Structure 1
Amino acid sequence: MQLQTKDHGGLLVVTVCEDRIDAAGAIQFKERMREVTEAPSGRVVLDLSRVLFLDSSGLGAVVAVLKLLGPERKLELAGLTPTVAKVFRLTRMDTVFIIHPTLTDGLQKVG
Structure 2
Amino acid sequence: MDLQTEIRGDALFVTVTEKRIDAAVAIQFKDKMRDVAENGPVRVVLDLCNVDFIDSSGLGAIVGTMKLLGKDRRFELAGLTPNVDKVFHLTRMDTVFTIHRSPQSAVAEISNAS
Same fold (TM over 0.5): yes
* 1:39 Cα deviation from its structure 2 partner: 1.7
Equivalent-residue separation in structure 2 for 1:69 and 1:84 (angstroms): 22
* Separation (CA, whole Å) in 1 of partners of 2:106 and 2:88: 17
Tell me how far 1:76 sits from its aligned partner. 0.3
Task: Give how far 1:106 is off.
Answer: 1.0
The equivalent of 1:25 in structure 2 is: 25
Which residue number in structure 2 is paired with residue 68 of structure 1? 68
What fraction of aligned residue pairs are identical, expressed as a percent? 59
Q: Which amino acid aligns with 1:32?
A: K
Cross-structure match for 1:91: 91
Aligned residue pairs: how many? 111
Structure 2 Cα separation of the partners of residues 22 and 33 of structure 1: 15
Q: Secondary structure at the match of 2:99?
A: strand
The TM-score normalised by the length of structure 1 is 0.96
Q: Note the alpha carbon deviations across 1:26-56, whole angstroms, 9 max, x for none.
A: 0000000000001230200000000000000
Q: Deviations over 1:61-111 (max 9, x none)?
A: 000000000001011000000000000000000000000001101112386
| Contact 2:12–2:40 (8 Å) recurs in 1 | no
Worse-matched range after superposition: 32-41 or 90-99: 32-41
Report the secondary structure of 1:50's partner residue. Answer: coil
| Larger proportion of helix | 2
Match of 1:49 in 2: 49
Give 1:2's aligned residue.
Answer: 2
CA distance in 2, matches of 1:82, 1:12: 24
Deviation at 1:10, TM superposition (A): 2.4
Q: Which residue is equivalent to 2:79?
A: 79
2-side partners of 1:40 and 1:81: how far apart?
26
With the length of structure 2 as denominator, give the TM-score of the two structures: 0.94
